Structure formats: structure tokens, C-alpha cells
Amino acid sequence: MARNQQADRELTEVLNQLWTLDTNRLRPGTDYIISLQGKAGYVAQGSNYARDRARAPLFTYVNEDKLKSIETYSHFINLLDNYEMSTGVQEEVTSEELKENRLFIDAMMETAVMKFAHGYLSNKGQSPSDCDQFKRQLYDIWFRLYHRDRSGGKDSCGFEHVFVGETKFGREILGLHNWVQFYLQEKHDHLDYKGYKARANKNTPDEDDHVLNLQFSWKGLVKPVGGVFIGVSPEFEFALFTIIFLMSTEKKTSVEVKVDEYLLELIVYRNGQCIGTSYPKLLSSNQWD
């Protein structure tokens, strides 16, 4: 998608404002410790074999007490076990799950990050100024179920794809771009970190970096590379990708922005009025220079 530079400049300013407001972001080396280990190798398309360049987990330590004491994280974690992993299997949403989704959105709306995103989108005419209507809009974008696999019932939603992860035909990992889910799946031995991915001409990423490109296997399937924000709050990711989604009408939106010290490509695919997928791709970090 061709975008004008002014739009990208404005978006960069907006996203940096979100970054500054994200007081629930965890601090590397204090609230969590990661171990990057080796650089991951090439995995052929469709292959589920990857050489393990990382014998230890990615997450050495996460302060779970702190995670669970922050309302948005604690509601977010409650949502992670609400989904069928395979596309083609119809999702059944219970009244309890509907309530959990709403509690999570309510908690996000209390944060400075989401209040700023709402104000920005409302000023741009992309969102209703009424808070309850905006919550409904968020719900529809992220939690409304749709068909990802045409053969079955409504089997997916933006939240499940991006934050929980799915599998396709038992052969391929879809989504799973969230660090909290990555950590919890790794802790329960469902996920095996294989190493970081970096461009040949770039140095090793840093263990303080808040954005990484990772290779991993999940329940026996390999993801050759997945972009993940590390340590950021759920509301930061929701706000960031909602803004990109609503400020474009394209099927695929790709924007290059500099957030803090990271040069990122942020990618959002739409599925009608819902998010199909969204993820960051780390292009470079100042710390590497």
C-alpha cells in the first residue's frame, strides 16, 4: 500500500505517544529476563523441522505476581484459554467468555494508552466519541467471529489469531504474536524457542530489545519467523493495531515507523470489518548500530 510520508510521520508521532503512555510495559532485566541464544536457521516452506539454536527457553524469568497485579494483563491472561486452536473447528462462545472479553475491554479503557487512542480516532472521524460505542467497535474489530477456514463454522477472530495463535490443517502455525502467550506456552512445555532471526547484515539483537523476530515450534509445528513485541502491555498492542486498521481501508496495510529506538514495519490484514492479523517486523534497532 502506497502511503504518503506525512501520514507515516503523523502515525510515527501517534505511536510514540502510545509508547510513552504505556506505563504498564514491563522492564527488561527487572520484570523479566530473556535469553536470545543462537541465531535461527532457514526453514523451508511447509517443513516442520527446525534446528534448535536455543537450548534454553527464551524467557528466563517473568515476574508473574506483577503481571497478575496489573488489571489489563490479568484479564488478558483469562482470555487466552478460551479458543479452539484449529481453524475449521467452530468456536463456541460461552456467556462467561463474553463477560471476560468485556471486562478486558473495560480494563483497557481505563488506561492512558487506550484513552489516547480513542481520542485520536474520534478526532479523525474513525471512531464514535461515546466510550460505550467505542468499546463495541473494539469488540467487533477484535472479538467478532468469522470464517478463516471456509469448510466449517465461524472458527476465528482477530484476538485469537494475533494473541493466542491457531493451527491450519494441523500443518502450520497461524498468528501467535504475543509475548505473554509465548511465555505461558513455553512455561507449560507447549512451545520451544529455536532462536532469533536477524538480517544477515545486522548485528545480534539485544536482550533489552522490546521487538524481536523469533523462530519457534508450538505443539509440534514450526513458525519459521514471527514478529513479537516483548514486555509491552496488551492495551499498547490493541491501541497500535486498532489505529492502523481504522486509518486504512486496504486489505493489507504495511507502514514503516520508528517507535522509540526501533525501525519497524507494522502489518495489518483486514477480514471485512475485523482484524485478520497484525504483527510487527523489526527492521533495525539503534542499539545494533
The C-alpha cell at 27 is: 522492564
Q: How far is CA 198 from CA 185, 260, 281, 285, in A?
A: 23, 19, 10, 11
3-class DSSP assignment, residue 225: strand
Total residue count of the chain as it appears in this document: 289
Query: Which one from 75, 118, 177, 194 is the annotated catalytic residue?
Result: 177
Q: How far is CA 219 from the centre of its chain?
A: 19
Instruction: Judge whether 223 counts as a catalytic residue.
Output: yes
Q: How far is CA 66 from CA 73, 81, 172, 262, in A?
A: 9, 20, 33, 26
| Among the listed residues 111, 89, 108, the one whose alpha carbon sits nearest the alpha carbon of residue 160 | 89
Instruction: Judge whether 177 counts as a catalytic residue.
Output: yes
Spatial strand order in the sheet of 221-229: 191-196, 211-218, 221-229
Query: Which one from 118, 135, 161, 194 is the annotated catalytic residue?
Result: 161
Q: Is 28 exposed, middle or buried (0-12, 13-18, 19+ CB in 10 A)?
A: middle
Say how far apart CA 114 and CA 108 lie, in whole Å: 6
Q: How far is CA 271 from CA 84, 105, 147, 150, 161, in A?
A: 19, 21, 9, 13, 12
Say how far apart CA 286 and CA 289 lie, in whole Å: 5
Q: What does residue 68 show for φ and ψ, rounded to 5 degrees?
A: -75, -15
Q: How far is CA 146 from the centre of its chain?
A: 19
Instruction: Judge whether 161 counts as a catalytic residue.
Output: yes
Q: Which residues are the active-site residues?
A: 161, 177, 223
